[in-house]
Chain A
Amino acid sequence: MKKHWWKALGVVIVLYSFFMGLLTPLKTGILEANPASVRTGQEVMLEVKGYNSFYTQAQNELRAWLKMDSERALAARRVEVVDDRLVKLTFDIPAFLPVDKKVQDFTLILDSPADGASVLPSGVFVTQDSINAALGETAWPNADIANLHEKAAITFPFRNILGETIRNTYYHVPLWFAMFILFISAVVYSVKHLRNFDQRYDEQAAALTSVGILYGILGLVTGAIWAKHTWGAYWSFDVKQNMTAVGLLIYGAYFVLRASFEDPEKKARISAVYNIFAFATLIPLLYVIPKLTDSLHPGAGGNIAFGSQDLDNTMRMVFYPAIIGWTLMGVWMAQLIFRMNRLKHRLLEE
């Protein structure tokens, strides 16, 4: 058991990521505001649908604002709670907007002592018939958005398009991190092999790479499922998706190459060199090219991942361990392949 502790550790960490990642509730959010587009100079009633909300617990203490920027916000005149998931807000929209545009989007902010503050970005669009920014400036109040509540509980952030799928951060993303760690270790073994031509190092590299490819394919599949319900299609020919597929194909050729040699020494040497080449091409494919153009994927062009928008501290508590857990599981799987190949070689040598 002394030698196997890290395998158990990997399993325990992955299990922890499953339990924590699935059981922790999301923060209260706003699903939609109806109607989403209103006109100026009217009294409008917005029906706001909440998610994980408990509006009845905060009957008279609910507050709501339509916020344009840090200087302009309009407080709701009346807040009427229908049930836990539905609240009706009444706003008196002034006759003119404080901007030179016909349409302006407003962020809806709802604050409740029971649930904390929730936000619907660009939730309401206000249209004006005639433009008069000066009149609008005087008409729009700057309601004080102060003393927002925060719910004291362990929760994950609520994002409108993502919803519960934010949990996929613990199942889709760590696969890629683990894949990368496995590929780096494989390159280290390939370099080691080229230094002293020990067959075992090359076999280690091959085993680690094969598990890395499995993780990569799983990452692509899980990413496609996630994309279907957030981007709208399994495969949007997004630069990140395409380049990853190309990278994995290059890695796939590594095994085609290995299978095409009879002489084991030649096979080991050439595939070690190819492995280094494959890893060198993977970095620009995965991490440079997607950053140069527009992509739907976080972490690519104009879409920064790992800001506080994507990952808060509660998520980090699950996300980082998940990387370690999947890496350990991957090393375990690679060791099984390696040991089996060792046995085969010993058998053939006899």
Chain B
Amino acid sequence: MLKAVRKAFTTLSLFLFPFTFLMAQEDADFMRSMGKMYVVVAVIAAIFIGLVIFLVYLDRKLTRLENQIIHHE
């Protein structure tokens, strides 16, 4: 289970890395188009990623707890 989480995390960061790189390059034009609407999109995306990080954190702690229960029995 922990392995799966780690895998998911690596995939996520691998997916996000080129995205941030791309964003930095076209930043000025793209982010400023449509009255800077994409800044709002980026902010909401950041909050969403934050909630995902919370889920991953909770998942890992629960996995640890489950493992403890298995050892306990």
Contact = CB atoms under 8 A, between A and B. Distances in A.
A131 interface: no
B35 A164 contact: yes
A168 B41 CA distance: 9
Contacts of B46: 218, 221-222, 225
A226 B45 CA distance: 12
B28 to A, nearest CB: 9
Given A164-B35, A229-B32, A347-B72, A175 B47 contact: yes
Contacts of A175: 47
Interface string A221-261: 11001101100000000000000000000000000000000
Nearest to A336: B58
A193 interface: no
Contact of B35 (A163, A214, A344): A163
A340 B65 contact: yes
A45 interface: no
B25 interface: no
Contacts of B69: 347
Interface string A158-183: 00001111011001100100000000
Given A165-B39, A168-B43, 15 more contacts: A18-B44, A163-B37, A164-B37, A165-B36, A168-B40, A171-B44, A172-B43, A211-B54, A225-B39, A225-B43, A333-B54, A340-B58, A340-B61, A340-B62, A347-B68
Contacts of B65: 340, 343-344, 347
B43 A171 contact: yes
- The secondary structure that dominates the A interface is helix
Nearest to A175: B47
B42 A225 contact: yes
B61 A222 contact: no
Interface in A309-350: 333, 336-337, 340, 343-344, 347, 350
A95 interface: no
B10 to A, nearest CB: 21
A167 B47 contact: no
Interface string B15-43: 00000000000000001101111011011
Contacts of B35: 26, 51, 163-164
Interface of A: 18, 22, 26, 51, 162-165, 167-168, 171-172, 175, 211, 214, 217-218, 221-222, 225-226, 228-229, 333, 336-337, 340, 343-344, 347, 350
A163 B36 contact: yes
Nearest to A215: B50
Contacts of A340: 58, 61-62, 65
B27 to A, nearest CB: 8
A229 B37 contact: no
A26 B61 CA distance: 44
Contacts of B36: 162-165, 229
A226 B43 contact: yes
A168 B72 contact: no
Contacts of B31: 228-229
Contacts of A336: 58
Contacts of A225: 39, 42-43, 46
